[in-house]
Amino acid sequence: MKRMGIEAIHRRPNTSKPAPEHKIYPYLLRDVEVLRPSQVWAIDISYIPMAKGFTYLVAIIDWYSCKVLSWRLSITMEATFCIEALEDALAKYGKPEIFNSDQGSQFTSIDFTDVLKREKIKISMDGKGAWRDNVFIERF
Q: What is the pLDDT of residues 58-84, one digit of tens each?
A: 999 999 999 999 999 999 989 999 999
Mean pLDDT of 11-24: 60
Asked if residue 55 belongs to a domain, the reply is: yes
For the entire predicted model, the pTM comes to 0.80
Say which CATH number the domain at 99 has.
Answer: 3.30.420.10
Asked if residue 45 belongs to a domain, the reply is: yes
User: What is the model's pLDDT at position 136?
Assistant: 43
User: What is the model's pLDDT at position 96?
Assistant: 98
Q: Which domain holds residue 134?
A: 40-139
Asked if residue 48 belongs to a domain, the reply is: yes
Mean pLDDT of the chain: 85
User: What is the model's pLDDT at position 19?
Assistant: 56
Q: Are 51 and 121 in contact (CB under 8 A)?
A: no
pLDDT for 116 beyond 80: yes
Q: Which regions of the chain does DSSP assign to beta strands (E)?
A: 40-49, 54-62, 68-74, 98-101, 122-125
Tally the domains of the chain.
1
Round to whole Å and give the CA distance between 83 and 75: 15
Mean pLDDT of 119-133: 77
